[in-house]
Structure 1
Amino acid sequence: MFKEIGDERTFNGILNQITDNIQSGRLKAGDALPAERTMAETMGVSRPAVREALRALELLGIIKPVPGGGNYIADDLDSWLIGPLSILFKLNNSCFRQNQQLRAALEREMAILAARKCTPLDAAELLRILTQIDSTEDEIRRGELDKELHTKIAKIADNPMIYSVLAAADQLTDNIISGTREYIMRKNKSAAEIDEQHHRLVEAIINNDDKLAELCMSEHMDTIEKCIDEMQQNKSQGYTGEK
């Protein structure tokens, strides 16, 4: 499984051998790695060098250390992107429009995939969330349910890459959703436009109409993007929207 490292840098060599073994299937989710001493001897490197590489993989969510029990490949490798991407999104926190453009592109593809894969059980879950949105007047709760609806659509789409990126942007997504709903409520005294878009989107997904689902999601994302632009413009002019 491991061999002596050649001319490449020690750190890179250790990382490459571990990730190559995961990619090839020789190491699978939940598998235990050899002891640090064994890995060091096999690759011809020091134990601190192995420990440093394992620590980097731990930070990426690929390795899970167990105190006194060694190191294991993470059980859920599909979610390993969330940690690194979360840091990048936080560093880019001020670029709301760019973040929304990325989200819009992913959400459109997500809607297409969800429409193709939606089962009767999935449909029931989507309708349950919509019913809860319609039945509550608490705008904070409605914002939470709004997020839950988009998360459910992402899970129905069953694409770990898309889900990981959206999950990594979770805090920014929260800010965008809650901020947009709040802005629309102040402006129009109602969030009926967004709620109606959700209903049309869910109907398209339930009916397995991927083209209509993409169109509905595009309309929904356009509405949010316009609101974000207005919010940023009003903020730059010192306008809060309060009366």
Structure 2
Amino acid sequence: MTDDTRHDTGHGIRHDTGFLDTTRTFYDAIAEDYADRFRATGAGTPLDRALMGAFAELVGPEGQVADLGCGPGRVTAHLASLGLRVFGLDLSASMVAIARRENPDLRFEQGSMLELDLPDGALAGAVSWYSSIHTPWERLPDLFGELRRVLAPGGHLLLAFQVGDEPHHFDHPFGHPVALDFERRRPEPMAELLEKAGFTVLSRTVRVQEEDTSTKVPQACLIARR
């Protein structure tokens, strides 16, 4: 039996890709419950939507935008409402099915943002809205390198994630027998990795923790330009 959890990068280096299978299995199991749970939140808080609005203005309506790790498509739909030519991509076939069902006028595909089926410079914008939280730290340079590859010169990236130093373990969500770690990271080292990958970080924002809302930990958002 072959080991299909190792991926050859083409440079003699093999990386563990088992986390992709774990993530896919997790979201396939909880997709319908997840979509129901977060349907009322739409595209997030007013501050979230403001950042998306700024990103949309930077990108403009002409170029193609990819919402990578789109889940049930709520952020994809909001970006489309802002005038962007956007499509969604997700590892989970179940999430893609929900996104297509709830947003029939938009395009959704299944795939990994670590290996995008796009030519170099194909995108004017890319969004990773809490989807990099499942990528191990040592694979983030690969992820950011792939995002840089598919962005045209001057293209923009919107990257959101939870702030912290330790992962959060989510076990048996909605009663399903699956578990997954969600990585929490600091904006400064994330910005440094983006710079090393060839991006210029234009904006760093942190939404503070609010115990009486759904924001239980600080939330970071970076906007960067290739």
Normalised to the residue count of structure 1, the TM-score between the two structures is 0.23
The structure whose Rg is larger is 1
Which one has the bigger helix percentage? 1
- The structure with higher relative contact order (CA 8 Å, sep 6+) is 1
Q: Which has the higher strand share?
A: 2
